[in-house]
Structure 1
């Protein structure tokens, strides 16, 4: 028995010395809020304890109420000793020997055990006590703070009052010093003014005499410079007059298309330089720089004069040489210079003027261009005079706004645009921008408005697609009411598009590419690069459509440019040798607008004209067109002619032959009452 007890003690000592038995217990765990740390330490040390299934089962049974707790130590299956002690005992012996020992000590250990719920309650009580102590201390601190703040505010108030009193005392002392100083200065100033009156009057007298001398000297210099400017202007005017007379004397000699290559813009440039001299002479004071500018203007006029005279002399020599070399060919061709519309000529033509332009059309073109140049010169004073600057801007804005806003909204809309321009050309007041504006023949503003209107119609027609048929009624009615407007419009159109003459510019061997393209109607950018051929052809199409739209308008009486001009233009064009691309483009554009009216008035003759174009003229265009070039214009012309002839053979209605967007004939009836919103789409 004693031996068994000794063995049990040895086992318990061995277990105590093992890692599982080294759990420490801190009796002061309740102090200094160490509860959480102690629980964490216990959890950490007990996490490595392994309980056998049998012990787990016994532990679960001990949880039952009123059951007896039994604990049984299970030996390690590996039979490894713990801390060098051999625990090789069978299970029954260990259970029997230790059961009594565990039961004796279980009651003592239960008394010392503390549950987790007790710990949580204890912590809550501690937190409440600490919170109460903390709130008490905060209240004490707030009380102390408020007390010290009141003391500080009181002291600050006293300090401010002290400094305010000191500042008032200093200001009062400064005011006394300022008053004394002011009195002293006033006394000295009174004595000084008495002495300076005489000196000031003498100084003013000297300054006035000096100013009079300067003005007199400046006036004499201005008179001398004005006389010099008058001499310069006289020389410039003589140069311009001599050039004009020289050209007029050669009108009967110059019957070649080279006249078109003379830069008529240079005549306008000379007149513009002369206007600049006139503007300088109106200045009240002329400086040395003004005189130098006048000298430069004179030099430019002399240079332009020499260039024009030189060009005309070269032209005369070329004409005389052509007369010598081409007397016989001209005599042979003169009898057959015009091709009939129903015949073709297989004979090659000589290099004569009739190959490039009709003689009669050429003379009419020269007359229109001279009239156009004179008209442009007539309002240069109005344009350049600064006194008319505001009026010019108002008229410019009115004309541009009126024409830019033309649209196919209704006949009432078009009638309103026509009436506003008519009122302006009648020199009556028209409302615009909340004020009344008008133009006058006396100051040149009327001619300025007419010229600007023609340019705006042409400009808008090249920028807005399919606007020609909408603008044409306004143009033709303005033409019938103001013939000068129509002449300037036609001259400007032919200047922009020589194919409306019709005329094909001829290129000289000595002429550069850019000048030739300008003569053909190309526009050149500021950097000297001409526009593309596609852009050029599209712009020519737009101008031809605008011209043909004016012709086909059904004005009741006194059409200023009626349908006979359509037949004349087509006949003159077909009498000339075609050119690649441009001939087909302008012919198709013209017929697409006027074909329905030409068929209505000329009937079978117009059908013969179309047959000639399809059977002969298209082949000639195709022959001269280089390989690899675009032939859209040629194909488009052929398709239009064939489609139009098919419609004629089917006896379609005349309205179906008209182009889309055509203004109805009742628009031109003077008795028609236009109601607002009346549409002018094809009926």
Structure 2
């Protein structure tokens, strides 16, 4: 009996020791996170102070101008409002609604993920699926028919997820396969023309993930520092960061110059050449950031000059730059 009691006492003591060790490890992890955050804040303050002093001497801006900042904030507000509008669908608990949510998300994102290496009829098919989905028409996805009309918040949900997916394709697909920027941009531009809200959401997602596309250098926010990913108190490596920014800037440059080639519409581009000139002028007037500014300028200009991979008019932006 005494032996049993001693064993129980030993187990209790060991459990207490384990719990104490776990608490100490958690406190240490929290301390490291706070130290990293404080270090990042201090580095950011020093960098901002240095940039501001240098800018005074050289006449360069250290942030976005007032009109650009107002535009940036407006787009972020619109994206937040859209996300709130499908809150009920997003947090659905019942099986049927959760299933519908997954089907709607697949119907929105699958055609976009298939765009990278296609042209001609398959590209038109992907475009038409997206257009039908946004027009409340039924579409077939993964063997199932689904429509945004199946839920009162379906259209808001699909619009948000679709825009998010376009930007993610820039972040991932275009980052690894530069030529993919053109067919993705052509579809994005065409959908933007028919459904303007999608364009605004694309810009909002793009600006949040890649503030250099504004261009704007916002203060540190939860999870990101000027576009850097922060996970488990570790900041993303520079190579990975530059690759992602490169992909998104290339997609943005392609969107500015691309038109959907299979339409008879001759209206103005939904986000055309004037935005390219605005971005270029502002990025050149802002204090350059080491590695980043040179990289995104190269990506933007090279994309503007490359020959397109789908049948469409020649690069308006690229030719305009070099006629000047």
Note whether the superposition's TM-score is higher than 0.5: yes
Rg larger for? 1
The separation in 2 between residues aligned to 1:498 and 1:474, in whole angstroms, is 23
Cα distance, 1:379–1:549 mapped onto 2, change above 3 Å:
same
The separation in 1 between residues aligned to 2:63 and 2:295, in whole angstroms, is 17
Count of residue pairs brought into register by the alignment = 252
- Measured after TM superposition, the shift of residue 517 of structure 1 is 8.2
SS at match of 1:504: coil
The separation in 2 between residues aligned to 1:664 and 1:382, in whole angstroms, is 39
- Measured after TM superposition, the shift of residue 661 of structure 1 is 4.3
C-alpha offsets along residues 371-430 of structure 1, whole Å, 9 cap, x if unaligned?
Answer: 111111000111112241111111122223222222333311111100000000000111
- Measured after TM superposition, the shift of residue 662 of structure 1 is 3.3
- Measured after TM superposition, the shift of residue 442 of structure 1 is 5.8
Cα distance, 1:506–1:378 mapped onto 2, change above 3 Å:
closer
**Aligned position for 1:539:** 244
2:116 is the counterpart of 1:410: no
Alignment of 1:353-432 (within 5 A): 354-385=61-92, 386=94, 387-432=96-141
C-alpha offsets along residues 95-149 of structure 1, whole Å, 9 cap, x if unaligned?
Answer: xxxxxxxxxxxxxxxxxxxxxxxxxxxxxxxxxxxxxxxxxxxxxxxxxxxxxxx
Instruction: Tell me if the contact between 1:358 and 1:502 (Cα under 8 Å) persists in the aligned partners.
Output: no
The separation in 1 between residues aligned to 2:222 and 2:157, in whole angstroms, is 30
C-alpha offsets along residues 245-266 of structure 1, whole Å, 9 cap, x if unaligned?
Answer: xxxxxxxxxxxxxxxxxxxxxx
Cα distance, 1:437–1:346 mapped onto 2, change above 3 Å:
closer
Q: 1:461 aligns with which of 163, 170, 183?
A: 170
**Aligned position for 1:181:** none
Q: Which structure is richer in relative contact order (CA contacts within 8 A, separation 6 or more)? A: 2
Cα distance, 1:434–1:399 mapped onto 2, change above 3 Å:
same
C-alpha offsets along residues 304-336 of structure 1, whole Å, 9 cap, x if unaligned?
Answer: xxxxxxxxxxxxxxxxxxxxxxxxxx9xxxxxx
Cα distance, 1:421–1:355 mapped onto 2, change above 3 Å:
same
Consecutive unaligned residues in structure 1, runs of 5 or more: 1-329, 331-344, 508-514, 597-658, 668-683
Cα distance, 1:480–1:486 mapped onto 2, change above 3 Å:
same
Instruction: Tell me if the contact between 1:462 and 1:539 (Cα under 8 Å) persists in the aligned partners.
Output: yes
Q: 2:144 aligns with which of 435, 439, 453?
A: 435
The separation in 1 between residues aligned to 2:135 and 2:102, in whole angstroms, is 19
The separation in 2 between residues aligned to 1:558 and 1:519, in whole angstroms, is 35
The separation in 1 between residues aligned to 2:302 and 2:129, in whole angstroms, is 31
- Measured after TM superposition, the shift of residue 349 of structure 1 is 6.0
C-alpha offsets along residues 213-261 of structure 1, whole Å, 9 cap, x if unaligned?
Answer: xxxxxxxxxxxxxxxxxxxxxxxxxxxxxxxxxxxxxxxxxxxxxxxxx
Cα distance, 1:666–1:567 mapped onto 2, change above 3 Å:
closer
C-alpha offsets along residues 26-80 of structure 1, whole Å, 9 cap, x if unaligned?
Answer: xxxxxxxxxxxxxxxxxxxxxxxxxxxxxxxxxxxxxxxxxxxxxxxxxxxxxxx
Cα distance, 1:445–1:502 mapped onto 2, change above 3 Å:
same
Q: 1:474 aligns with which of 187, 195, 199?
A: 187
- Measured after TM superposition, the shift of residue 457 of structure 1 is 1.4
SS at match of 1:524: strand
Alignment of 1:119-158 (within 5 A): none
Alignment of 1:269-284 (within 5 A): none
2:230 is the counterpart of 1:521: no
2:186 is the counterpart of 1:495: no
Consecutive unaligned residues in structure 2, runs of 5 or more: 1-51, 261-265, 315-324
**Aligned position for 1:562:** 272
The separation in 1 between residues aligned to 2:189 and 2:109, in whole angstroms, is 19
Q: 1:451 aligns with which of 145, 151, 160?
A: 160
The separation in 2 between residues aligned to 1:570 and 1:520, in whole angstroms, is 19
Q: Runs of 4 or more off by more than 4 Å in structure 1? A: none
- Measured after TM superposition, the shift of residue 580 of structure 1 is 0.8
**Aligned position for 1:579:** 289
- Measured after TM superposition, the shift of residue 448 of structure 1 is 0.6
Alignment of 1:214-233 (within 5 A): none
The separation in 2 between residues aligned to 1:588 and 1:504, in whole angstroms, is 19
**Aligned position for 2:7:** none
Cα distance, 1:506–1:488 mapped onto 2, change above 3 Å:
closer
**Aligned position for 1:548:** 253
Instruction: Tell me if the contact between 2:189 and 2:259 (Cα under 8 Å) persists in the aligned partners.
Output: no
- Measured after TM superposition, the shift of residue 570 of structure 1 is 0.4
- What TM-score, normalized by structure 1, do the two folds share? 0.35
Q: 1:665 aligns with which of 312, 315, 318?
A: 312
SS at match of 1:523: strand
Instruction: Tell me if the contact between 1:441 and 1:447 (Cα under 8 Å) persists in the aligned partners.
Output: no
**Aligned position for 2:299:** 589
- What TM-score, normalized by structure 2, do the two folds share? 0.71
